[in-house]
Every structure is written in C-alpha cells, then in structure tokens.
Structure 1
Amino acid sequence: MSVYANYGRLEIERDRVTKARGYINALRKITSELGSKSNYALSLCLLARVSAKIGDWQKSRRNFRKVIQLCRNLKEILELRKVYYWYGEATLNKKTDARNYLELAREIFMRVGARGWLKKVETLCRRA
C-alpha cells in the first residue's frame, strides 16, 4: 500500500494529477478490501491534495476535514501533523485557513521534535 501512496505523493509533487489519481485509486481499492482506516485516511488526504492542485477547493477542504477527523479519532498524531502541513500548503494560494493549519502543524512538530518538518512549515508560514 505504501508504494501506491509514495508514487501518488511523487506525482502530486510533479503536478501530474492524472497519474497521481491512478495510484490513489489503487490505494483506495486495496484499503477498502482490507478495511484499513489509517490507509483510507491517507488516500483521502492524497485526493484532497490533488483536488487542491486542480482548484477544486470545496472537495479539497471537505476531504482534508474528513482526514483530520479520522486522524484525531485514530489518535494518529504523526499523520495529523502532516495533514495540517499539507492542508496549510494547499490553502496558501487561496490564503484561507493557511496560517491556522500551518500553526497547528508547527505546534505538533515542535512537540515531537520533528526538525525537518518544522523547518518546512516555518518556511511556509513566512509565505502565508
């Protein structure tokens, strides 16, 4: 499953959303067969990022909020921080909610000592 997720992330970074969707759909199929809630959350997060890339802000926001709730319910703090980061990154262009989600991500990164991610989020905070 992580192979599909990693390829999906890579294609999102390269702005190849069609290829990204293919990997995400494969991940979603496996996830539904196995009933994995954490991987379902990951697939929704990737879909939210794709939606943001193509400018579908309603779908992006809806999926990000679902993922945030799932991560909270599953107590997936490490994944939650990444979701906050990606949500903040996605909303930078719109400037809506970007600062709030980047600050939430920053707080968690500081708490868990994730220096690499902290550096990335601080760079984005300066742009927001």
Structure 2
Amino acid sequence: MSVQIEFGDTSLILNISGKTMVTTLRKKIEIPYNSVEEVQISNFKFPLTAVKRTGITTIGYKAGIFIIDKKKYFLSYHDANKVAILGLKGFEFDKIVVESEDPEQLEKNILMRCSHINDQTP
C-alpha cells in the first residue's frame, strides 16, 4: 500500500510512500482528530468530473489530490470497495479517501479517538 495509517496521541497520520509520494510531493499528512467530522465505510464512486491537481488515475488505482464538486480530496486506493472516507472540517482537505485491508476496524479505531463525533457508532 502507498499509505500506511498511524494513530498518534492527537492526530491520525498518513505515511505516504511510492508513486503516491512522488506525485503528491508529500511523505506525510497529519490530521488532528478534532478535524474529523465523519467517517464512512462505502464504495467510493470516482466521478468523471474530478479535476486532478497532482496524482495518478488508472483503471485500477487512484491516488493524489483532486477537486470533486468544489471540494479538495486526497485519494489513495486500488479497491474502491475497501475504503474509509473521512469528512474533515478546518483542514487542508475536505475529504480523505483511503484504502484499508479492514475498513470497518479502521472506522472503529478512528471513532474511538474522535469522541466528538456523536452520531456514529462503531
């Protein structure tokens, strides 16, 4: 995987490697837990209207920074059915879509650290 997820004391850290690091010119994205508004597990539909800022788009891989419906997204996935989608506020990105081997467990781990999200239960 091009993105490894690490849980810090106050933030979720995305460690970026490989082609994703090269095309986005980033090694790390650090997301404060208090910036996370929601976490969803779903099949991400990549729209044809997405505007690529930096990144890679192939049939089997999407990674990088995109503008979708006037919102800034960071994407990193091969399998759109195994992603967690983070809705953020007051952060550089509006949404982060990242693949996980176990998206349900990732959702639980994030929600455990984001007690301010009241409407979701793991």
TM over 0.5: no
Query: TM-score scaled by structure 2?
Result: 0.32
Q: Which has the higher contact order (CA 8 A, sep 6+)?
A: 2
TM-score (norm 1): 0.31
| Greater share of strand | 2
- Structure with a larger share of its residues in helix: 1
